[in-house]
Structure formats: C-alpha cells, structure tokens
Chains A and B, each alone.
Chain A
Amino acid sequence: MAEARQIAIDVRDAVKRYGDFTALKRISLSIHDNEFFTLLGPSGCGKTTLLRMIAGFEDVTEGGIFLYGKEIEDLPPNRRPVNTVFQNYALFPHMTVLENVMFPLEMLGKGREARARAGEMLELVQLSQFANRKPNQLSGGQQQRVALARALAPQPKVLLLDEPLSALDLKLRKAMQIELKHIQRETGITFIFVTHDQEEALTMSDRIAVMSAGELQQLGTPGEIYEYPRNMFVADFIGETNLLEVSVDAFAEGRAVCHLGGGHEMKVDAVEGIGVGSKVHLSVRPERLFLTDEKIDPDALHATVLENVFVGTNIMTIVDLDDGPNFTIRAANSDRGNARVFPEGSPVFVNGDRGAARLLVD
C-alpha cells in the first residue's frame, strides 16, 4: 500500500435518494487500479445501488463518480467502459453461448475479431466445448461462467459483479471464488464485487468496504476489518464474536482494564476516545480464546462450561463466567495445541491472546 496506485473508480460524496428514502448517505471511496474490491453488507445496505450507479443504471442524486479521473455521470450505460456480471446472469436466451460472448464485441464494431476473441474468453472460463449450446442447456455454474466471459470479452476497465455466486450451491461457490480470483489476477482488470457473504468477502478481496443502512461503516483489507473492527456493526457482521457492554475501570500500561460484570476484569488495548468510567463495547473473537483447567495466566477468568457444540472443523464451547456474562469459545477440532474438550459443568479458566479483545469506539 506504500506506493501510490492509480485510482480506477472514485466515488465522491455520492448520495442516492428515491423520493423520501435515502439509499446512499454521502459515500466517498476510492477503488484502486487492478484491485479486487468488495462492497459487503446486509441486503438493503445500498451496496447494489452503488454498483448500479457505477454501471449507469441509476443516476447519482448528489456527488460524482469518476472513472480514471473522468466524470462518467452523464454517460449512459452503453457508453461506459465498465461491464457487469448480473446476479441472475442475464444471458440472452435466444443466442448461443458463443453469440452471447460475441455480442458486446459486435456492439463495439469489432465484428471481425469477435469470434476469435469470444473463443479465447470461453477458453479462459473453460467452456469452449459448450460454445454452440443455448444458455438454458447449461447448469447454473456454467451460465455464471458464460456471463463472466461475456462481461470480460470487451476488456472493460472495471468489472462489476452483483452477487454473482449467490445462486450457486456451497461447493460450486467455493470453487468459483478461487476461479474468480485467478481470473482477476490473470486479466489485471479491476473487480468490484458485491456480496452479503462476509466469508466470501474475506476470502477474495484485496480490500472490503463494509456498508450498512446506506453508510460506509469501514474500509480496509480483510485482515484490518476482521482484526480491528471499527464499530459494533462491523464486529458483529464480520465473523463471529462475543459482544459485551463493559465499563472502563482504570488504565495500566496502555491497556484499559474493563469490568465485565460479576467482578471479572479484562485488559484490552486502549483506543482513543475513552476514559475511566466510559461505557464501551468489547468484541472478543471466539477462536482467540482457549480454556485451561488450571490458572496459568494471572488474568484468566474463572467460568463453568455450559455446553459443547460440535461443528465439524471446530468445537464451540459456551461458558458462563461466574456471576458474569457468557462467552463462546471456538477450538479447532484437532489433537494438537491446547484444544481440549471439557465436560459440561466443569470449572475452567478462560484465557485469551493479547489481541483477542477489541474495544469498539462507536
């Protein structure tokens, strides 16, 4: 991130209103050239609206959108060098796979090279043998790949993907995630990917913009967003977490001593904007906690096991801090390390790494 990268899409103070309803509340963000950028959020958060504004299907109520420094607001969709992969694929049903992929090339007046280029694209998505089929003769995953080939064929400056994997089953979705990432690397095209699936976003993205209720909640790399969620929404939406309301009792060595209730205390890296007596939220990732039957760490919390839940790769243990809140702890289902299953009702100590807990400012 040190070197200055060219900005592909620059969204400046973009507002979108439908009558009285504000779908986007003044959003600004810059998407770098050659980046896999994800707009992540629950349905209705405005992520698809923003994507459609970039594509040109929705106009911008206020603010502007710039493509490599050039304002594109007044350009209709067919004049913008960006292409979209639609959620329901939107393949032309009366055309063959090859004709679908050739379509944008013909529209651009590249009819002569269309066939060869479309063939290359189908090769890229490994569908050459289906060139003469109709879309309805293909499976969902294959249709998805045709849509991708069609959108990539005219070599757009930016590719927009509107929840393209949501209709696929889990296995296929995982495979397509990796394939999409490969294709992005191979073509070097900037991808803007919309999804409500946080795991998908973490897996694929260079950077993620987390959105909620028409506002940008946090922008950062998957690591930043997961490890340092800025607020309750992001902490809760990304991954699993134990969210607690705590009060700050004191500060010691740059760490805040938080009172969890029932006399339990936890030391957490301090953040700006809190003082003694502040009521703040604390996010504790379940996989960063572990249980022991003896108190090795002086800061370990005493608790009782309530329930063990087996989830295949992991074992989730729910414990009750004596007179305090409950915690969920996730341990890898493995014989290595200190993962151990404690029977229900047994007394345990809850330990955490230094970065296990984060204070949330707002």
Chain B
Amino acid sequence: MAGGAATGASVTTDTYAEARTWLLLPAWAVLGFFVLAPVGMMLVYSFLTKEFRGGVIWEFSLAAYDQFFFDRGLFGDEAPKIEWTYINIFWRSIWQAGLATVMSLLIGFPTAYFIATRPEKVRPIWVFLITIPYWVNLLIRTVSMKFLLRDNGPLNEFLMSVGVVSEPIHIINTNFAVQLGLFYSYLPFMVLPVYASVERYNFTLSEAAADLYASKWTTLRRVLLPTVKPGVIAGCILVFVPSLGSFLAPDLLGGAKNFMIGSLIEEQFKGSAGNWPFGAAAAMILLSMVLVILMVFARQQAKSGKEAG
C-alpha cells in the first residue's frame, strides 16, 4: 500500500514537471526568438567585416568598434586619435533623452497625481483620454508635431495673434523641438506607472504629515515622493530608454544638426550607403550604456533601501 502510494505521488510529480516544461515553452520561445537571437545576431554582426552594398562578409574584424572610437585619418594610415563625432552624438542623445525624461516627469507626475485623486469611477476615463493620442501611429504624430511647430504653423500663428511674440519663434530643427517630440512620444510611459503607484498611496499619510506640522511642499518631498518612488523610477526608465534610441523625433523635428544615436544606427542599415557592422557596433554600445546606467541605478536603490531598512 505504502509503496503504491509513493509511486502514485511520484507519477503526479513527473506529470507536473512535464506539464511545467511544456507550459513554459512559449515564454522560452519568446525570449529566444525576440530577445536572445536578435541581440546575439547584432553582437556577431558587429564583429564582422562590412560589404560595400550593405550586408556583411563573414570575416572577423574589430573595424566597426575602431571606427566608432578612433580616427585614423582619411586613408586609415595615421596614428589613431580619439574620434569625437560619434561620442558627441552619443553624449547628445543621453542629454536629449535625459531632458525629455525630466520634462515627462515634471508634466507627467502632476497629471498622474490629478488622475489618482479623482473619484474612483472617473479615473479610467482620464487614463483612457491620456492614451487616446497613442492609438495613432508614432510617425504620423511626429509629422503632425512638425506642422504644429513650424514657423508659420498654428502654434506661432496663435502666439502672434494674441501678441505674445511679434515674429515667429523658431522651434523646428532645434534641440528643444527634439526634446518636445520625445516628451510627447513617451509621456504615457511616465503617467501610467506613476499613476499606478500614486493610486495605491495611502492619502492618510499626507494627512498625518500635515497633522504633524509639515507644510504641503514638505509633505510632497518627505512623504509622498519617497513612498511612490518605485513608480517614478519605472516611469523614468520607460521614457529614458526608448528616447535614447529614438530616431523619428530627432530626424523629423531636429534636422541634420541634431542627430541622435538612433538615427546614426538607422542610417547604417538603409540602402547601399550603410555599414551593417558599424550599425551593429553602435547598437551594442548603446545597449551596454543603457545596461550600465540601469545597473548603477539599481545598485543605488538597493543601497538606499538597505540603509533605510
């Protein structure tokens, strides 16, 4: 009897184990096909030799990385100097994405707070309204933005008609236009996670802070913000990361001068002028940068969490 029962139990365990393997298969397939394979391919391609009409020759080469960081003159025979062109583009991308993230936070946090403090019944309506523009394709929205902002567009016409400015302000093809475009592209990624954490916030804590002599500003700084920090961090990552690699907004709104890393990468894979290994290398460098930034962030979080605990 005892032996039979044991066998029965082990059969059940085996069945569960087998079922688990099969049920996990989709997850592994998605990870494999959509994460590991593309990143692996990119990594491999970045170490190959370029073919002049696009594509690669299967021959190991460090040329792509070398081109990114070093300048060896027009014919490649001079002593290597640091190549600043791409590093500058990189730096500008981080700066632009960072400013767009700050803008999203400054506008997105009050928005999320506003929605979270509405009556429970109307909150979904506000969330819905926030997301409606994002049903339209990003390209269309970015082009519309360009029309809105241009010198004789509706924004300038309005500003001139009410007499705020006497001649059109030049927005298009500036850094600011790119920041504005990125901000507009990714704003919901800030609003939604922040909203989710503010909605869970226990507003009695704000009352308690006020009761204990804290002003409104102090309550925000010392009680509300620390409590909803995870949502704010998630929002910042979700805006910063895609902004960093974005190419639509910089291309359409920033013009040639305000090139970002995303455009640089995109160009390497377009037409016969491209350089696949160089594009792959730039993408790998971008990926590592993002990973490093996120890891530093995560470590700091863990540290501050430990200190407080």
B88: Cβ under 8 A from any A Cβ: no
Please indicate the chain B residues that have their CB under 8 angstroms from the CB of A104 in the complex: 212-213
B208: Cβ under 8 A from any A Cβ: yes
The CA of A90 and the CA of B201, in the complex, are separated in Å by 11
B207 touches A77 (CB 8 A): yes
The CA of A82 and the CA of B208, in the complex, are separated in Å by 12
Q: Name the residue of chain A whose CB is nearest to the CB of B219.
A: A78
Q: How far is the CB of B296 from chain A (nearest CB, A)?
A: 21
A86: Cβ under 8 A from any B Cβ: yes
What 0/1 readout, one digit per residue, does chain A (85-101) give for beta carbons within 8 Å of chain B?
A: 01010111111100000
Q: Name the residue of chain B whose CB is nearest to the CB of A153.
A: B212
Please indicate the chain B residues that have their CB under 8 angstroms from the CB of A92 in the complex: 205, 208-209, 223, 227
Which residue from A78, A88, A94, A95 sits with its C-beta under 8 Å from B213? A78
Please indicate the chain B residues that have their CB under 8 angstroms from the CB of A134 in the complex: 308-309
A83: Cβ under 8 A from any B Cβ: yes
Q: How far is the CB of B229 from chain A (nearest CB, A)?
A: 8
The CA of A264 and the CA of B151, in the complex, are separated in Å by 99
A55 touches B211 (CB 8 A): yes
Please indicate the chain A residues that have their CB under 8 angstroms from the CB of B144 in the complex: none
Within 8 A of A (CB), among B184-233: 202, 204-205, 207-215, 218, 222-223, 226-227
Which residue from A84, A94, A95 sits with its C-beta under 8 Å from B211? A84
A302: Cβ under 8 A from any B Cβ: no
Please indicate the chain A residues that have their CB under 8 angstroms from the CB of B309 in the complex: 134
Q: Name the residue of chain B whose CB is nearest to the CB of A77.
A: B210
A134-B308, A134-B309 known; A107+B204 contact, CB < 8 A: no
* Residue picked from B212, B213, B215, B308, most chain A C-beta under 10 Å: B212
Please indicate the chain A residues that have their CB under 8 angstroms from the CB of B226 in the complex: 94
Please indicate the chain B residues that have their CB under 8 angstroms from the CB of A79 in the complex: 213
The CA of A93 and the CA of B197, in the complex, are separated in Å by 14
The CA of A84 and the CA of B209, in the complex, are separated in Å by 10
The CA of A93 and the CA of B209, in the complex, are separated in Å by 12
A92-B223, A134-B309 known; A107+B214 contact, CB < 8 A: yes
Please indicate the chain A residues that have their CB under 8 angstroms from the CB of B218 in the complex: 107
A57: Cβ under 8 A from any B Cβ: yes
A138: Cβ under 8 A from any B Cβ: no
Q: How far is the CB of B108 from chain A (nearest CB, A)?
A: 22
A154: Cβ under 8 A from any B Cβ: yes
Chain A interface residues (CB < 8 Å from chain B): 55-57, 76-79, 82-84, 86, 88, 90-96, 103-104, 107-108, 134, 150-151, 154
Chain B interface residues (CB < 8 Å from chain A): 202, 204-205, 207-215, 218, 222-223, 226-227, 308-309
Q: A90-B208, A91-B208, A107-B218 provided; 20 other pairs, C-beta below 8 A?
A: A57-B207, A57-B211, A77-B211, A78-B212, A78-B215, A79-B213, A84-B207, A90-B202, A90-B205, A92-B208, A92-B223, A92-B227, A96-B308, A103-B212, A104-B212, A104-B213, A107-B214, A151-B211, A151-B212, A154-B212
